[in-house]
Amino acid sequence: MHFGIQNILFIIALAVAGFVFARKFGNIWRNIKLGKEVNRTDRKAERWSVMGRVALGQTKMVKRRYVAGFFHVVIYAGFLLINIEVLEILIDGIFGTHRLFAAPLGGLYTAAINFFEILAVLVIVSCLVFLWRRNVVVVDRFKALTGWAKRDGNNILIIELVLMVALLVMGAAEANMAEVKAGPFLISGLIAPAFEGVSQANLHLIERTAWWLHILGILAFLNYLPYSKHFHIIMAFPNVWYSKLEPKGQFSNNETVKKEVELMMDPAADPYAAPAEADPDTPPERFGAKDVTDLNWVQLMNAYACTECGRCTASCPAHITGKKLSPRKIMMDTRDRLEEVGKNINANKGTFVDDGKSLLGDYTTAEELWACTTCNACTEACPVNIDPLSIIMDMRRYMVMEESNASQQVNMMMTNVENNGAPWAYAQADRANWTNEL
């Protein structure tokens, strides 16, 4: 095969796919950066180690969920390793070569392709298992997914099936061809008899069609990702790297409030001092989060890293006992709202025009947020260290500190803490009474 019209078409397809993806990715990154700054670049060695274990090593993926964990590892390994073959396909496509690595690698090449073909079969099996879990037996945590969320999950699995089948058909057709660069290979060799007796011209056509289907499929898949939960294959790694390293029980101290309280408690502060000149055009900083732009950028990245598996929700005590809260929905709400804000910015030449909506209220309701026990089951369950709890807490802070939107009982508790130093209405002076009962 020589450089020709096919290669020009291929290069154009590659360039267009790359350009479209880069533009969309830039858009998503812009959206993520709408979040507030947060320092997550400390303890770098530990971050690499966590990423190695959790993202690369899939340790949380296989924890307690053996079936899903096992098949996910298969698809994940297939994705990572078969992509080595895609590298060859890309080079072949650009330069008009065919199986470029076959000659220099020799027996190693055959071994590698055999291995990839076995992986491809395992991926096909895994995709079928996952489709079955989503559509036939319907695992509990997938029951809540409807509409786009459900279709999305199936789309991805079907695309992966098509890609893998194309890969095998390509090899099978080639195995029957008169001039063969390499092979026959383990699995495609088994399918090869299906193409026996087909004319050389048709074999060539089948092989080329499968080749194009495979590579165009990959490029299409790449551009499907940003609209899909499957974007996690790109965001999972950075998401784990930037995840919270402090003990799960340590909640952030709100910086805005900290400044106010320090000023209040500082005996040297001049109570009559004129406030520092503030820019009248900048709105005062909010306590807590009402909308996605009040969250920090890692929380927003969390939303794009979420693949809606629902392990968080399945382990949430509030959800288990029939309450409205679902940590997965918190993440999906955050992404949906952020996408809406991003579209608003795009439509208004780079500035956000108030649409009268917000994450709190229009997407997530107070009832959901008040059902949380802050138990950290969701953050523990997440295979990629997403932190829905921090988003729940930030919205609670907004409700309580900006809207005084808490139940009578919660308000009573807070009044008691403020006046008596205890959540109940006991007098501070009685605190040590128990020492007399020994």
By the rule CB under 8 A, 373 interacts with another protein? yes
Query: In this complex, which beta carbon is closest to another protein, that of residue 200 or of residue 374?
Result: 374
Nearer to another protein, 272 or 434 (CB): 434
> What residues between 67 and 126 interact with another protein by CB under 8 A?
none
Compare residues 95 and 287 and give the one whose CB is closer to another protein: 287
Closest CB to another protein among 348 and 415? Answer: 415
Report the residue from 268, 273, 274, 438 that binds another protein according to the rule CB under 8 A.
Answer: 438
Contacts to another protein from residues 251-290, by CB under 8 A: 251, 253-254, 257-258, 260-262, 264-265, 287-288
Structure tokens at 336: 């949906």
Pick the stretch among 141-149, 171-179, 186-194, 241-249 that binds another protein (CB under 8 A).
241-249
Among 146, 199, 250, 351, binds another protein (CB under 8 A): 250
399 touches another protein (CB under 8 A): yes
Stretch that binds another protein, among 48-56, 162-170, 244-252, 336-344 (CB under 8 A): 244-252
Could you say whether residue 393 binds another protein (CB under 8 A)?
yes
Point out which residues bind another protein (CB under 8 A).
64, 246-251, 253-254, 257-258, 260-262, 264-265, 287-288, 315, 317-318, 320-325, 367, 370-377, 379-380, 393, 396-401, 406-407, 409-410, 412-414, 417-418, 421-424, 426, 428-435, 437-438
